[in-house]
Amino acid sequence: MAGDKLFIDYCGPTVPIINPDTGEVRYHAQIFVATLGATNYTYVEAGRSQREEDWIMAHVRTFRHLGGVPRLLVPDNLKSAVTKAHRYAPTLNENYAKMARHYGCAIVPARPYKPKDKAKAENAVLIVERWILMRLRRESFYTLAGLNARIKVLMAELNNRPQRLYPGSRREQFELLDKPALMPLPGTMYEYIDSKWAKVGPDYHVLYQKHAYSVPHTLVGNTVTIEASGSVVSIYHHNQLVTQHAKSAKEGGFSTQKEHMPDSHVKQRFSAERLLHWAENIGVGTRGVVQWHIHSRKHPEQAIKSCLAILNLTKQHGAARLEAACQKALLLERPHRSVVMNLLKHHQESIPSTAVEQDEQPVTHHNIRGQHYYQ
């Protein structure tokens, strides 16, 4: 039936995206393929991965390209589409299901080990591999946008080629049959929302994609819900929005709003003064390392987690070993938490620095020829 089913899958072969400066492969682009069941009209694009966000947003761009929405989506059983495969009642990925509800279509995954359920997708993938990817195999691409621009040209050629079994081209059949039968696009384009739970740390920040975002300090110890779109990170507590941040593109670091900070360190459960006093009871070396962590942050509260991780090493290694490791880290001018932990892990905190220098002295032995032998 025209406008009824859209079959979706990924190609097996990938296309490398190359770093122009080093010539190294940055990542392998995945090739997304969607084809309409009635006319075989095919949409192709490259994505960074087959992860949930890339998978869902590829559908959004497919609908925009088609100018409408089919009634049924028939994907394969990849994890971004199906969280638990089943022959009759598969469990759909929640975010994928949200996208389908936004566009008013249904999802009917192909049954596992039933290639006939996705014959259209298998055939479309084979054609894309032969008519598009084979033509790209000798070309180099440095950006995903550049690759998609090239794919767009080849996709148009593929859809405009005359078919052998059906009259006219795929595009002509699409304009005649599928396009008028597609459901209209909704007024707004779907925006992917990634939803996660997180516990607010003692530094009143939550971690999302290795970046820390602040919340009101009164929520320390509470569990919150993080909903992140492509540009905004929204944080909810008991279904009430408590704050929003611009989404950071870099891993690591902090996004801190001043109004989330406590009025003074005294109101913090673990204040800088308390951490320094705790460290001083262990030793001057430990205090020096903790003090370095506190002063290296823009806001002292941001160092709480690192300081607590260092101070709690006494539970596993004892105060004496921790103090020795901190003193050695200061002598090495590397008072980082990872350095202290590595010294303790490999029992190197008590090895004097001169031992390394002695190991570097030349070995003298009667079987070893000196440098004068070769002159």
**How confident is the model at residue 168, as a pLDDT?**
86
What tokens does 318 get? 């004892």
**How confident is the model at residue 349, as a pLDDT?**
84
Confidence of residue 374 (pLDDT cuts 50, 70, 90): very low
Evaluate if residue 268 carries a pLDDT over 60: no
Which amino acid appears at position 17 of this protein? I
Q: How many CB atoms lie within 10 A of CB 44?
A: 27
* Nearest by Cα to 304 from 196, 200, 209, 194: 200
Interval 6-15 mean pLDDT: 93
340 vs 268, residue with greater confidence: 340
Q: What is the pTM of this model?
A: 0.63
80 vs 126, residue with greater confidence: 126
Report how far residue 171's alpha carbon sits from residue 151's, in angstroms, rounded to the nearest whole number.
16
Residues β-bridged to residue 32: 10, 45
Interval 195-203 mean pLDDT: 88
What tokens does 158 get? 């593929």
* Nearest by Cα to 170 from 327, 16, 295, 38: 38
What tokens does 60 get? 């959004």
Report how far residue 213's alpha carbon sits from residue 228's, in angstroms, rounded to the nearest whole number.
12
374 vs 187, residue with greater confidence: 187
Report how far residue 212's alpha carbon sits from residue 224's, in angstroms, rounded to the nearest whole number.
14
Confidence of residue 353 (pLDDT cuts 50, 70, 90): low
Interval 316-325 mean pLDDT: 93
Average pLDDT, the chain: 85
Q: How many CB atoms lie within 10 A of CB 292?
A: 16
**How confident is the model at residue 265, as a pLDDT?**
42
For the chain, domains (ranges, CATH) are 5-181 (3.30.420.10), 194-260 (no CATH), 267-358 (no CATH)
Q: What's the gap between Cα 3 and its chain centre?
A: 34
Query: Coil, helix or strand for 301?
Result: helix
Evaluate if residue 293 carries a pLDDT over 90: no
Evaluate if residue 91 carries a pLDDT over 90: no
Query: Coil, helix or strand for 95?
Result: helix
